[in-house]
Structure 1
Amino acid sequence: MIPSPEDARLRALHDLGVLDTPPEERFDQVVRLAQRIFDVPKVAVNLIDADRQFTKAAVGIPLGDRPRAESFCTHTVAAQDTMIVRDAQLDERFARHPDVVDDGELRFYVGQPLAAPTGETVGALCLVDDHPRDLSEAELGLLADLGRWVERELAADDDELQAREVQRRLLPYRPIELDGYAMAGCCLPARHVGGDYFDWSMVDDRLQVVVADVMGKGMTAAVLTAGIRAMMRGAAPFNPLERAVYRTAVGMADDFTETGTFATLFACRIEPASGELDFVDAGHGLALVVPPQGEPRRLQSRDLPLGALPDDTWTVQRERLAPDETLILVSDGIFDIVEDEAAAVDTAAHIVRDGKDPASTIARIEEYARTHDLDDDLTAVVIRRLPA
């Protein structure tokens, strides 16, 4: 039996694997940009299933399901072409629609069809306004460009999506419960996968924290990042901090040479009772101790990144995290927010002091990333020693 066009369309939609998945930044970026370009209150990426509309990304519109019978986008899918409704109250197809009649929030609609890699139309990128309007040919061209962007994301290679999930699983599942301390962290790749990572673990009753940043982005950087994490995790329980960093560099040397890259790394171990903090800075330079008042203290050295020179070594230095002081570590993705190191120090100190705790500080960084396009991976870790 030859499947109907609708059966083929539904199979293509389900093969994408995006139905009933949580929000993703790669789609959220498109709807935010569309809202700014077209100055409309509502934008959505809607996927049309057998009997429902699933909203994958939106501004001004709830995410999740809506009956297909109430969907404007199902008409776009059926037409397989851009559909413009200049004034829904004057269009007999939609004049009695609840959104048009009951609250009057939908007067203008335009839907750009979205195709699966196999060509079937599976949904629409739509714009909605509460008053009649029109789009110029140039604006329709921009909308088509954004639609193609969504289609590329829908067709993202399965291996890359799986790699993103693997990389996510390499990050700590949750903060370590350590008396007298609070901690939080985030790792925000500029692409599906990135070259940053952070980790925390207990080593000989001390809290070890690591942040690393591989030069570059994407799959190659992500693979190297996974290697660094594995080497540090393996070496740390059996070696002093500087030796663990050295063994990691030696273990990764061939990979750095083959790919022509290197990695900056900051690693520290904190003795919980005293706050004594031993650290190695391998070209990272973006670690800061922020007291409640006064000047923050930068933790840095002149040591080079991993992979910069063969047979290089790294030195351990000492600081102390006093009660009510906060250690913040960031990757150089912060330079998407500020222009130079001095501004980075000021910004980091400011957000730490504005935050009630590490979790709220990290939440603020994540919120910034959600509302801006990052050119580089951004990682941040915040460790606070609680007041005595």
Structure 2
Amino acid sequence: MATSEPLRLAALYELGLLDTPPEERFDRVVRLAKRIFDVPMVAVNLIDEDRLFTKSAIGVEAGGSTPRDISFCPRTIETGTSLVVPDARQDPRWARNPLVTGDPGIRFYAGAPLAAPGGELVGALCLIDDEPRDLSPTDHALLEDLARWVEVELAADADALQAREIQKRLLPRHPPVIPGYDIAGRCQPALHVGGDYFDWHLLDDTLLQFTVADVMGKGLAAGVIAAGVRTALRATARFNTLSDAIRLTASSMQDDFDNTGTFATLFTARLRPSQGHLEYVDAGHGLALIVHADGEMEQLSSRDLPLGSDLDTNWQSQESRLAPGDTLMVVSDGLLDIYPEPDDVLEAARKLAASDRTAEQMCDRIMDASIGHEVADDLTALVIRREPSW
């Protein structure tokens, strides 16, 4: 039974591949197909509502678009089977097609449909030649095998996007409403899924705990470890001191850290809003600071190691105070891709805190700073601003 066009398009858009640059994982299939079939043109094409987008190609422009109504590949998704045209000039269905009579002068075409993980046909792997030819039964089977390879990569995208949605749901949806405080956070993964996260929750009516953590690496594995750290810290925080909560979290996650060869830097703190009293633990993070109302800056850091580096570490809590008019900022090391020099980070923070922006606007400004830079790491920011009158 054919999939309806709206469902097919929804599956295509969910992959998030339209209008994206070529990727080696698809280029690899294209190169192999060219060697096997000895054709001048090979492409992985995705079929949108009114156009064909070329995700990866040899012999034609990758990243380009072709009107759907003149393209060969849409016929493969209409029939649901591979399409082979031995000589387009001799085929009445295609003889007057502008892609045959003009550039690129298609004579031979063979395309195998590509299915999304749900079975919806979203594109085709196609072979093109400017000379007539045909495919043997063995060639047909090889083309189908290569198409299945492309589908594996499409499924990997779908899994990553689903994981990203799950990770997004683990982030707080709304900041806690605390009179006299403006609170916001943002997390921008470098890939579909990242190893950064931020969190906040009220331990009771008088105590807010908040965290920024950064698992070494990025991608799905880092995201899984980050989710585990978040869950363990939330579970241990309510009934333990801050230092003990970190120790118990590290202990419960140690096997995962060992098995993946990773670790996590973490800054977590407990804020008593009525007094602005701040108790914090810095586990190798080093990227938290308070910009005081008078412009002076206080870095909140320690010599304690990240979680996963040494189970015998004794994480010590320290104290500070968030006075009226002060702004607390905690960021992840993705910001260092934008400001390589620590002094530049401090100066940017000072200027941002001196602005009239809300905490949400400040987080957005930090995220926007990545525009125009090659940010290879996840970028996370958490801002807590105490109103001057409180």
Please give the TM-score of this superposition, normalised by the length of structure 1: 0.66
> Counterpart of 2:360?
359
- TM-aligned CA distance change 1:121 to 1:318, over 3 Å: closer
> Counterpart of 1:87?
none
- Deviations along 1:133-182, whole A, 9 cap, x unmatched? xxxxxxxxxxxxxxxxxx99966432222111110000001111110101
> Counterpart of 2:277?
276
Tell me the distance in 1 between the aligned counterparts of 2:19 and 2:369: 13
Q: 3-state SS of the aligned residue for 2:192?
A: coil
> Counterpart of 1:148?
none
> Counterpart of 1:73?
67
Tell me the CA shift for residue 379 of structure 1: 0.5
- Deviations along 1:339-386, whole A, 9 cap, x unmatched? 132322222222333351111111112333455442001110000011
- TM-aligned CA distance change 1:27 to 1:312, over 3 Å: farther
Tell me the CA shift for residue 16 of structure 1: 2.8
Q: 3-state SS of the aligned residue for 1:157?
A: helix
User: Given the alignment of the two structures, is residue 223 of structure 1 paired with residue 232 of structure 2, yes or no?
Assistant: no
Tell me the CA shift for residue 255 of structure 1: 0.9
> Counterpart of 1:184?
184
Q: Is the contact between residue 46 and residue 122 of structure 2 (CA under 8 Å) also seen in structure 1?
A: no
User: Given the alignment of the two structures, is residue 117 of structure 1 paired with residue 111 of structure 2, yes or no?
Assistant: no
Tell me the CA shift for residue 79 of structure 1: 7.0
Tell me the distance in 1 between the aligned counterparts of 2:70 and 2:155: 20
- Deviations along 1:314-355, whole A, 9 cap, x unmatched? 001000001111000000011110113232222222233335
- Deviations along 1:240-291, whole A, 9 cap, x unmatched? 1111111101111111111111110000011101101000000000001012
Tell me the CA shift for residue 11 of structure 1: 9.0
> Counterpart of 1:61?
none
Tell me the distance in 2 between the aligned counterparts of 1:355 and 1:156: 43
> Counterpart of 2:165?
165
Larger mean CA deviation between 224-233 and 198-207 belongs to 198-207
> Counterpart of 2:13?
18
Q: Is the contact between residue 195 and residue 222 of structure 1 (CA under 8 Å) also seen in structure 2?
A: yes
User: Given the alignment of the two structures, is residue 292 of structure 1 paired with residue 293 of structure 2, yes or no?
Assistant: yes
- Alignment-mate amino acid for residue 164 of structure 1: R
> Counterpart of 2:308?
307
Structure 2, unmatched stretches of 5+, are 23-44, 54-64, 75-96, 98-110, 125-150
- TM-aligned CA distance change 1:28 to 1:48, over 3 Å: closer
- TM-aligned CA distance change 1:325 to 1:28, over 3 Å: farther
- Alignment-mate amino acid for residue 236 of structure 2: A
Q: Is the contact between residue 367 and residue 379 of structure 2 (CA under 8 Å) also seen in structure 1?
A: no
Q: Output aligned runs, 1:36-51, within 5 Å.
A: 48-49=48-49
Tell me the distance in 2 between the aligned counterparts of 1:219 and 1:268: 27
Q: 3-state SS of the aligned residue for 2:367?
A: helix
> Counterpart of 1:324?
325
Q: 3-state SS of the aligned residue for 1:238?
A: coil
Sequence identity percentage: 43
Q: Is the contact between residue 46 and residue 73 of structure 1 (CA under 8 Å) also seen in structure 2?
A: no
> Counterpart of 1:250?
251
Q: 3-state SS of the aligned residue for 1:231?
A: helix
Tell me the distance in 1 between the aligned counterparts of 2:70 and 2:356: 46
Tell me the distance in 2 between the aligned counterparts of 1:153 and 1:320: 50
Q: Output aligned runs, 1:140-151, within 5 Å.
A: none
- TM-aligned CA distance change 1:255 to 1:182, over 3 Å: same
User: Given the alignment of the two structures, is residue 262 of structure 1 paired with residue 263 of structure 2, yes or no?
Assistant: yes
Tell me the distance in 2 between the aligned counterparts of 1:247 and 1:270: 21
- Deviations along 1:215-255, whole A, 9 cap, x unmatched? 11111111100000000110111011111111101111111
Q: Is the contact between residue 352 and residue 358 of structure 1 (CA under 8 Å) also seen in structure 2?
A: no
- TM-aligned CA distance change 1:115 to 1:324, over 3 Å: farther
Tell me the distance in 2 between the aligned counterparts of 1:313 and 1:379: 26
Tell me the distance in 2 between the aligned counterparts of 1:383 and 1:226: 23
> Counterpart of 1:109?
none
Q: Is the contact between residue 77 and residue 122 of structure 1 (CA under 8 Å) also seen in structure 2?
A: no
- Alignment-mate amino acid for residue 364 of structure 1: R
- TM-aligned CA distance change 1:271 to 1:348, over 3 Å: same
- TM-aligned CA distance change 1:73 to 1:226, over 3 Å: same
Tell me the distance in 2 between the aligned counterparts of 1:249 and 1:27: 41
- Larger radius of gyration between Structure 1 and Structure 2: 2
- Alignment-mate amino acid for residue 299 of structure 2: R
Structure 1, unmatched stretches of 5+, are 32-44, 56-70, 81-92, 94-113, 124-150
> Counterpart of 2:236?
235
Larger mean CA deviation between 307-316 and 363-372 belongs to 363-372
- Alignment-mate amino acid for residue 310 of structure 1: L
- Alignment-mate amino acid for residue 301 of structure 2: Q
Q: Is the contact between residue 181 and residue 384 of structure 1 (CA under 8 Å) also seen in structure 2?
A: yes
Tell me the distance in 2 between the aligned counterparts of 1:295 and 1:153: 51
- TM-aligned CA distance change 1:29 to 1:209, over 3 Å: farther
Aligned residue pair count:
293
Tell me the CA shift for residue 46 of structure 1: 9.2
Q: 3-state SS of the aligned residue for 1:117?
A: strand
- Alignment-mate amino acid for residue 217 of structure 1: K
Tell me the distance in 1 between the aligned counterparts of 2:153 and 2:176: 35
Q: 3-state SS of the aligned residue for 2:231?
A: helix
- Deviations along 1:115-145, whole A, 9 cap, x unmatched? 973496759xxxxxxxxxxxxxxxxxxxxxx
Q: 3-state SS of the aligned residue for 1:184?
A: strand
Tell me the distance in 1 between the aligned counterparts of 2:195 and 2:152: 22
- TM-aligned CA distance change 1:322 to 1:28, over 3 Å: farther
- TM-aligned CA distance change 1:381 to 1:121, over 3 Å: closer
- Alignment-mate amino acid for residue 296 of structure 1: M
